[in-house]
Structure 1
Amino acid sequence: MPSDDALQQAAPALLLPRIRFVLVETSLSGNIGATARAMKNMGLSRLALVRPKQGARFADADAVARASGADDLLQAATLHDSLAEALAGCRLVLGTSARLRALEWPLLDAEGGGARLLAEAAHGDVALVLGREATGLRNDELALCHYLVQIPTNPDFSSLNIAAAAQVFAYEIRRQLIRRPVGSAAVADERPELATADEMEGFHAHLMHTLLAIGYADAEQCGTLARRLRRLFHRARPDRTELNILRGVLAKVAGRPGAEPDRRSG
């Protein structure tokens, strides 16, 4: 078995490529470039963009100038039509916000968020989601996240530039990586077959369809119910077998006695 020292030396190559920074509907291309620079400073490389204002032309002169040598991250960045698509394959998702929400969400500070991302990356892909410059993440987008993560700032002036926020989180990830043995930075759920974000999305769609079909939920008033159920299952973090069981139950409840569970989520 490799020693702790050997694991520590291998950690950047093993863990950092599994950590995904996801930017949602970024307005300024310069902020994308500056985020790429912040990531590369700390050894991170996976950048995903959800509907940037410039579309596929986001890597313009301003983005390249602000990237200041991190052009390779811009070239390798992936473009997505939805946040759910950008999170495909992730076992853990953290959503950033400068404000708390009416529906309480599990909360981490920047240090705890960096530690949790690093610890969970030992077992699979993870993501940190940063929202729009002016308005941040919508509630339905935060509902795709397991935790809300915040940087402790001046409460009278709490909004950070998106690239500045990315730098803080990237630094916390790097700090946890170099200061502690692998796996000791935070308690991680070590089950290797946890359902991924896209698999959970399939389940939630199935769940709400069933609740509407049996008359438990109202199509015009089910938003809060859906978010509460998401929060419940995010806490539980089912594995793929458990998720397949739940979808089998939903199929029975919906009155399809001969139906088989959707194997795509298991």
Structure 2
Amino acid sequence: MKRQIQSPIIAKFFNLDISWNLAIAPAVTLLVGTWLTLAANATQTQPVAENKKSIPNSVARFSPEGRVFRISNSNFTPRELDFQAPSSAPVNPPPVKPLPVNPVPTPRTTSYLVYVNNPNALTLQRIKQFEPSAFVRQYQQRNVIQAGIFQQTANAQKLAIALESQGIDARIVNLSTGEDTDFTGKFYFVVIPAKQNKLGAIEQRIQQLRMGMPVRVSQRQEPRTHVRVGPFLAKEQAENWRRYLRASGLRRARVYYGQ
């Protein structure tokens, strides 16, 4: 009796289970197929990701002492270097033209010659007392004593006046022009005023009184007619001659300072 009751129940249960399985089978099949598709895609993409090589952010370098230095390559930028072989043929630079140089004009120098026309041995020895380098030379096709050559006329006149005060007839010539140069400046003289017709006698008298003493005696017309003794560089020399001439009878002798 019991077996008959259980049999319909079991049969009913099995019928229900078979109906439920038939109902959910398509859904399960869809889920399994979707999962298999996703798994297959993941399997295909995985080797590609594994084959990629990552660039390290830093490079380790080892120093000789054993220390490790890490050099970051985050800012590394590759450069292309263009190497070219040097040219075998030398390259000559273009010629440089020198700048024109204007010649600097040199100032023209003037030389003054102090000379004496009487080239005898005694006069030369007297001149050497003032200028040891004096010597006899040719000037304008005649022999003269060169007392000195100077660049400044003042120095030439100083020597000429010193020679004149010793009775040596000195001359100054400008070598650039060949012309004689007059004495300039002021010096001391002893003058004896006289009329024109008495100048010769007074000059002869002074020549006798000087008795070989070095002094120059000359006749002058300006500012008035007179006989002049000198020049002298020092006033004392002129005063000594004035006293000597007055003591010798030339009472009008006096010292004059000028040209």
TM-score (norm 2): 0.25
Structure 1 or 2: more strand by fraction: 2
Q: Which has the larger radius of gyration?
A: 2
Q: Which has the higher contact order (CA 8 A, sep 6+)?
A: 1
TM-score (norm 1): 0.24
